[in-house]
Amino acid sequence: MQYTVTINQVKALEWGLNSQQALLFAFVYGCPSWTKPIKTDDGIFFALSKAKIIEELPLLTDKPDTAYRMLKALEEAGLIELSSTSNITLFRLTEKAVEWNQKLDGSEKYPTPPNNKGRKKIRSTSDKSPSKVGKKSGQGSEKSPTNQDTNHQGTNQDTSQDLQDATGTPAQSRGLVLVVDRTDTPRVEIPADMPGPKDRACKTFKVWANYAMAYRKRYSAWPVWNAKVGGQLGQLVDRLGAD
């Protein structure tokens, strides 16, 4: 069961979603980050069985037919595209759906904390056992795990768009410029709609941008960005370094 589901009420009202549809879409929006991608004649879709919806969202429904009707309602709202195999339902997000995780100004809803000091302060006051911070947590120790019993995909993907040397023809001038492996030569231009940190001085910017673009190239959708992802990425950079 998924413990926490975050609903963008502004977009839900704008798109005419009722509370059940908004709850389901909030769950579906994050599914590409862990559910299995399926290659079809129409491109990449993601596997999402009706049984999985019932398992993860017990507050929503306990009937497979109801879960499927709600998926069809999201398709009619222009948020997902549905397909299927002989035994499982497939979906993928539309361009419209990307707006779910954006503010009105186009920036991300859940930015990374501005520095390590703030993040460490939160941890020091929130952990039940501060003396054990830094030690490996035991199985089942996380208070609010997300997407339990799901298979998360690896991150060694292709890039999300064609890379272009600084000496080549310049791309359309929009978004941010990411320096992949050097500090003086921009090689990739970042789309303005990419979720996550936008400040190139942010310690997680380069790592997140490379991962997000590779993910989008493979799955035709941005990975989920929220406060938990930002915190985990910050810890990863602290331990391994941005390079």
Q: What is the pLDDT of residues 168-215, one digit of tens each?
A: 444 443 444 444 444 443 356 778 888 988 888 888 888 888 888 889
Assess if residue 166 is contained within a domain.
Answer: yes
What pLDDT score was predicted for residue 88?
Answer: 87
123 lies in the same domain as 61: no
Separation CA 36–CA 47 (nearest Å): 6
Angle at 176 between CA 171 and CA 177, to 5 degrees: 65
**What CATH number does the domain containing 56 carry?**
1.10.10.10
- Host domain of residue 228: 116-127+157-240
Please, are residues 217 and 160 in contact by the beta-carbon 8 Å criterion?
yes
State the average pLDDT over residues 49-77: 92
Contacts of 233 (CB under 8 A, 6+ apart): 112, 204, 207, 208
67 lies in the same domain as 167: no
Assess if residue 173 is contained within a domain.
Answer: yes
Q: Which two tokens stand for residue 144?
A: 């609010």
121 lies in the same domain as 220: yes
Angle at 104 between CA 17 and CA 99, to 5 degrees: 50
Q: Which of 120, 55, 127, 96 has the alpha carbon at shortest distance from 221?
A: 96
Tokens 């429904």 belong to which residue?
61
If one counts the domains in the chain, the total is: 2
15 lies in the same domain as 56: yes
State the average pLDDT over residues 73-102: 90
Quick: pLDDT tens for 124-150: 444 444 444 455 545 544 444 444 444
What percentage of the chain's residues is helix, strand, coil (to nearest 5)? 35, 10, 50
Q: How confident is the model at residue 155 (pLDDT cuts 50, 70, 90)?
A: very low
Q: Which two tokens stand for residue 242?
A: 């941005």
What pLDDT score was predicted for residue 177?
Answer: 44
19 lies in the same domain as 123: no
Assess if residue 89 is contained within a domain.
Answer: yes
220 lies in the same domain as 122: yes
Bigger pLDDT: 123 vs 67: 67
* Amino acid present at 105: D
- The model carries a pTM of 0.45
Q: How many other C-beta atoms lie within 10 A of the C-beta of residue 30?
A: 20
229 lies in the same domain as 122: yes
14 lies in the same domain as 80: yes
The gap from C-alpha 96 to its chain's centroid, in whole angstroms, comes to 15
Q: How confident is the model at residue 70 (pLDDT cuts 50, 70, 90)?
A: very high
